[in-house]
Homo-oligomer: A and B are copies of this chain.
Amino acid sequence: MSYATRKLSEEKVFKDPVHRYVHVRDQVIWDLIGTKEFQRLRRIKQLGTTFLTFHGAEHSRFSHSLGVYEIVRRIVDDVFKGRKEWDESNRLLALCSALLHDLGHGPFSHSFEKVFQFDHEYFTQAIILGDTDVNRILLAVGEEFPKKVAEVIAKTSEHKVVVSLISSQIDADRMDYLQRDAYYTGVSYGHFDMERILRLMRPWEDQVVIKQSGMHAVEDYIMSRYQMYWQVYFHPVTRSGEVILNKILQRAKELYEHHYEFKYEPKHFYSLFQGNLTLEDHLNLDEAVVLYYFQVWQAEEDAILRDLCHRFLHRNLFKYIEFDPSNEYNKYVRLLTLFKQANINPKYYLVLDSSSDLPYDFYRPGEEEERLPIHLLMPSGELHELSRESEIVEAISGKRRTDHKLYFPMDIVKEKIMDESTKREIFDLLHLC
């Protein structure tokens, strides 16, 4: 029997709070889970700084990755198997792509990617195609197999049904994270009838569609997603944590560029600061390492770095006010000036942050971020785009919602010694009293 089809002598299971059990029968999957690149995901939180708002949200990308794999496994083994539109030879490709789709994530992904302008997807590709244990296992399946997996994750694969299992507007990735993040945060949102959706998924030419009788379950999923975005993912306190994290990284980089002498040399960060993060350095940069540096940087000379690290570790976050960038830009500019006058560096201590989401959209050709729509398979055999059938989805379809906040350290603003009129004006603009 070839390695690609080798089964474990006995099925292995992982106890999972969301899916009850994650089942592994394939030797390839078992081996991939055991690699150091995959085990590293245990040291990357699934939700970044959300734990600062929802203390339960301490789960890792490791758990999530197993969950996505399990959902895809159920679809291909319990629903698609034997259907003529489904190419059974793509089974292992789907399973591996599901398992590995988040492999390139770094610590606190969004912040790192934003400040250092790199993309976790680049590193996912690099790990799958580079000199890694993951690559060696995939190669043992077939010479072209690593490339095929990489293409599915990059959405450039010709196996479009497989791509749409992993990344579309209703994919295994989203179905896992909505439920998992709801479970760990403890919020009431995030529940929908996944079992029904899975049962009604069908491979259909170049996409996965859902039988029309599952429309209400899909509506519920879209609404869950909407609520999770605004109640959890974009929570203003979580964003305050992210703002501080960004500013720590920005400050450290700035100091490095100005040849500041760190008491504790940030060796792990060198290639990152230099803008040429290597694969090896990337794999070594997990959240434990980052938190270690934040701890030791609390004893640095630089007051800003010290303060920001202290804030992050001990959850002394920035406060915020609502901000309307279209009408209040002058106010922001004025605050910049006032902060400078008060000797509070606005680059680090006055931060505009915006969150924005498009809950669902149909295909709008030519637009920036083209999204493939969700299609319902009607009893007649036709495909109808979801928002054409669902009033609720139509109501929110294509409507981008954005939220702007202005963050600042209340304690510093209040305690800083500055002249009275500056203080009064700052207080006034920030609605303090």
Contacts and interface: CB of A to CB of B under 8 A. Distances in A.
Interface of A: 13-18, 20-21, 34-36, 39-40, 42-43, 51, 54-56, 58-60, 62-63, 66, 183-189, 191-193, 195-196, 199, 216-217, 219-220, 223, 226-227, 230-231, 284, 286-292, 295, 310, 313-316, 391-392, 394-396, 399, 401
How many identical subunits does the complex contain? 4
Given A34-B314, A58-B58, A286-B291, 18 more contacts: A15-B186, A17-B56, A17-B186, A40-B313, A42-B55, A42-B58, A55-B63, A184-B184, A188-B191, A188-B192, A189-B216, A216-B227, A216-B230, A223-B223, A284-B295, A288-B288, A391-B395, A391-B399
Contact of A20 (B58, B186, B310): B186
A51 to B, nearest CB: 7
Contact of A58 (B63, B196, B295, B394): B63
Nearest to A186: B17
Contact of A392 (B186, B226, B295): B226
A399 B199 CA distance: 31
A21 B185 CA distance: 11
A263 to B, nearest CB: 11
B289 A295 contact: yes
A299 to B, nearest CB: 10
B191 A217 contact: no
Contacts of A231: 216
